[in-house]
A and B are shown apart, each in its own frame.
Chain A
Amino acid sequence: GENVGLHLPTLSVQEGDNSIINCAYSNSASDYFIWYKQESGKGPQFIIDIRSNMDKRQGQRVTVLLNKTVKHLSLQIAATQPGDSAVYFCAEGASGSRLTFGEGTQLTVNP
């Protein structure tokens, strides 16, 4: 199947800094992308999504950037807080097909 992968398996940042988590995808037909956050011992939670007709979408303290030319997706977290420590997954889907999840990046926020 198509691959959705992450460049960095772990990311450690200082509290208050901005975090950037990257994701590469290989299915050029993908038209929908989601970022999920998974805290220890819990199920994944939706953070933000973006469709392929957009390059950028902003939420509360989070921004997702999509570069279709190089098939790259990133999640930016502003003013990272200890509560942001979690594993972050990207997922992609194409025209109603099921989502394919990446392997995840562990974000650790140091006080």
Chain B
Amino acid sequence: NAGVTQTPKFRILKIGQSMTLQCAQDMNHNYMYWYRQDPGMGLKLIYYSVGAGITDKGEVPNGYNVSRSTTEDFPLRLELAAPSQTSVYFCASSGLGQGSSYEQYFGPGTRLTVT
């Protein structure tokens, strides 16, 4: 299994540009999450999904959108990039709700800079 994969690894955006961060998992997990991590800080939940077709806001959803059309994929969309969105973005998945542990498996992250 590849686990959780994220693309791209790095990206530089200009203010106002849009982009989609891709996330995929091959563990058949129902739950998927998007976090952002600012330098020297912890993880803040942006959006999460409990299954295909179901998404919900986390702590810091403003400026982002998500969709979950399949179990495997959970893309994160930035419509009008702002400097405040400069951060490292992590996608995670878990089998929570299927009798599995609460453990979340993380991808390698996408480092985004908005200038």
| A49 and B102 within 8 A (CB) | yes
**A94 CA to B2 CA in the complex, in Å?**
29
| A43 and B90 within 8 A (CB) | yes
The B interface, classified by DSSP as helix, strand, loop or mixed, is loop
Q: Is B43 an interface residue (CB 8 A)?
A: yes
Pick the contact of B48: A32, A49, A98, A104 (CB < 8 A). A98
Q: Which residues of A contact B4 (CB under 8 A)?
A: 43
Q: Which residue of A lies closest to B43 (CB)?
A: A101
| B106 and A45 within 8 A (CB) | yes
| B96 and A44 within 8 A (CB) | no
Q: Which residues of B contact A45 (CB under 8 A)?
A: 106
**What 0/1 pattern do residues 79 to 111 of A give for CB contact below 8 A with B?**
000000000010001001011011110000000
The A interface, classified by DSSP as helix, strand, loop or mixed, is loop
Chain A residues 48 to 95 lying within 8 A of chain B, measured CB to CB, are 49, 89, 93
Pick the contact of B42: A1, A46, A104 (CB < 8 A). A104
| B48 and A43 within 8 A (CB) | no
**A49 CA to B105 CA in the complex, in Å?**
13
Q: Using CB atoms and an 8 Å cutoff, list the residues of chain B in contact with chain A.
A: 4, 31, 33, 35, 41-43, 45, 48, 58-59, 90, 92, 96-97, 101-109
Known contacts A41-B109, A98-B45, A98-B58, then 8 further A-B pairs from the complex at CB < 8 Å, ordered by chain A residue: A1-B59, A44-B90, A44-B106, A45-B106, A49-B102, A49-B103, A101-B35, A102-B42
